[in-house]
Amino acid sequence: MKIGVFGTGMVGTTIGAKLVALGHEVVLGSRTRENEKAVAWARGVGKGASHGTFADAAEFGELLFNCTNGKGTLDALQAAGARAMQGKILLEVSNPLDFSKGMPPTLFVSNEDSLGERVQRAFPATRVVKTLNTVNCQIMVDPSRLPEPTQMFVAGNDPEAKRQATSFLREQFGWQHVLDLGDITAARGLESYLPLWVRMFGALGNADFNVKIVRAGG
Ligand SMILES: NC(=O)c1ccc[n+]([C@@H]2O[C@H](COP(=O)([O-])OP(=O)(O)OC[C@H]3O[C@@H](n4cnc5c(N)ncnc54)[C@H](OP(=O)(O)O)[C@@H]3O)[C@@H](O)[C@H]2O)c1
């Protein structure tokens, strides 16, 4: 499959490398076509990996991943272009973290709105599925690094997009438990988990963890 990954940070490069290892072709998108990290990433990953602008990645991908910094997400997606993203599924991985006042970060949007909703509103013809934002990027692409199955979530307005996203997460990355939380407003909860995630990270001393839902009667 041809996949566009927006973002040259640890999330974009980790997801991109995993996708290429699985046999997909990936264009890693950046603000600049010759972004140093993207060039090095493509060289290191090899056949199937290339790089370009956000627009290049959007044009190329049949499936898209948004792995950009939350504060730059809307600008990055504007650069990617509404036309190139039209009708495509966008797995929305970003978090609205604000580090401007130091640690721990705050959320620059929450409660009555979310970054996932802002993305869906800005790009109504793109099928946004909020997912993967609740775990570290190593776990995103390899949940089996944890000793037992844990929980992934999806949220979005398009049921078929969520079904396809869930199959992709299961078959490609190995997520056995994917819970559909409903429409894109559920991104509020998924993003509001981050302050708790940051505290668990501090208390546990590393990012290699996730949550598991345990229910009575089912
Ligand atoms: N680290 C994790 O394991 C983890 C887990 C869950 C969710 N997330 C979320 O995933 C996203 C990516 O995280 P990351 O640590 O890999 O990378 P990051 O440093 O947060 O973001 C890097 C990407 O954002 C782009 N960017 C930054 N400012 C921009 C702006 N003003 N306009 C347009 N694009 C801009 C950069 O573009 P250039 O390529 O041009 O520099 C780059 O591609 C974040 O939203 C983060 O909260 C991270």
Distance 9 CA to ligand 1 centre (A): 5
Distances from the Cα of 86 to the Cαs of 13, 54, 58, 190, in angstroms? 24, 14, 10, 24
pLDDT 10s digits, 94-135: 999 999 999 999 999 999 999 999 999 999 999 999 999 999
What percentage of the chain carries pLDDT values higher than 90? Answer: 99
Q: Is residue 6 within 8 Å of 31, Cβ to Cβ?
A: no
Distance 61 CA to ligand 1 centre (A): 19
Query: Where does the pLDDT of residue 48 fall: very low under 50, low under 70, confident under 90, or very high at 90 and above?
Result: very high
Percentage with pLDDT > 70 across the chain: 100
Per-residue model confidence (pLDDT) at position 52: 98
Show the tokens assigned to 19. Answer: 């996708």
Tokens of residue 158, six digits: 């398009």
User: DSSP letters of 57-69?
Assistant: HHHH-SEEEE-S-
CA of 136, closest atom in ligand 1: 3
pLDDT band at 218 (very low <50, low <70, confident <90, very high): low
pLDDT above 80: residue 212: yes
110 lines ligand 1 (CB under 6 A): no
Q: What is each CA distance from 55 to 23, 63, 66, 197, in whole angstroms?
A: 23, 14, 12, 32
Q: Is 35 in the pocket of ligand 1 (CB under 6 A)?
A: yes
Flag whether pLDDT at 83 surpasses 80: yes
What's the predicted TM-score (pTM) here?
0.98
Which residue carries 């079904």 as its tokens? 163
What spacing in Å lies between the alpha carbon of 150 and ligand 1's midpoint? 25
Nearest 10 degrees: CA dihedral of 211, 6, 25, 150? Answer: 0
Q: Which of 68, 137, 191, 211 to mutate to test the pocket of ligand 1 (most atoms within 8 A of CB)?
A: 68
Evaluate: CB of 152 within 6 angstroms of ligand 1. Answer: no
Give the pLDDT band (50/70/90) at residue 84. very high
Output the average pLDDT for the chain.
98
Q: What is the pLDDT of residue 98?
A: 98
> What average pLDDT score do residues 141-161 get?
98
Residue 17, judged by CB atoms within 10 A of its CB (0-12, 13-18, 19+), counts as: buried
